[in-house]
Amino acid sequence: MFEVGFTEIILILGIALVVLGPEKLPKVAAEIGRWMGRARAMARQLKSQLDEEVSLQERSWSQPAPKPTAPPPPASPTPASPTPGTPDPAAEPPEPPEPPPAAQATPEPPASPPDTAGAEPATDKNAAS
């Protein structure tokens, strides 16, 4: 697809030497080398992680499915002889507890007195004499 031969590499290095100069070229080349090393290390790490995930997935597929456990046998409806002091399960169920007593009703407030607006004040005629 994209091939870089020896002559192309020499040409690129010649152009870089002319553009960057002999002082900066070694520094730039070292920096490019570090970045390429980091990129290769990251690619290698990604590949190993993907391989590990694939192998885990293949192992999980290759293992047989776990067998379903058998349901427990049904319990007998009544025991043959209940032990003394224990309630017989076949006997009547105990009565439910009584509901809590209803809250006491609050007394109603007394009725308001009739409207006496505009009426004459009541006077005791016997008390005046």
Residue 124: per-residue pLDDT: 56
Residue 120: per-residue pLDDT: 59
Give the model confidence (pLDDT) of 78-104 as tens digits. 555 556 666 665 666 667 677 666 655
Residue 75 to residue 46: CA distance in whole angstroms: 56
Q: What is the CA radius of gyration of the chain?
A: 50
Residue 84: per-residue pLDDT: 60
Residue 36: per-residue pLDDT: 95
**Domain positions in the chain:** 23-63
Segment 41-57 mean pLDDT: 95
Kindly report the pTM of this predicted structure: 0.39
Contact 49, 41 (CB under 8 A): no
Would you say residue 41 has pLDDT above 90? yes
Contact 54, 46 (CB under 8 A): no
Residue 58, judged by CB atoms within 10 A of its CB (0-12, 13-18, 19+), counts as: exposed
Would you say residue 32 has pLDDT above 70? yes
Higher pLDDT, 44 or 68: 44
Segment 102-128 mean pLDDT: 58
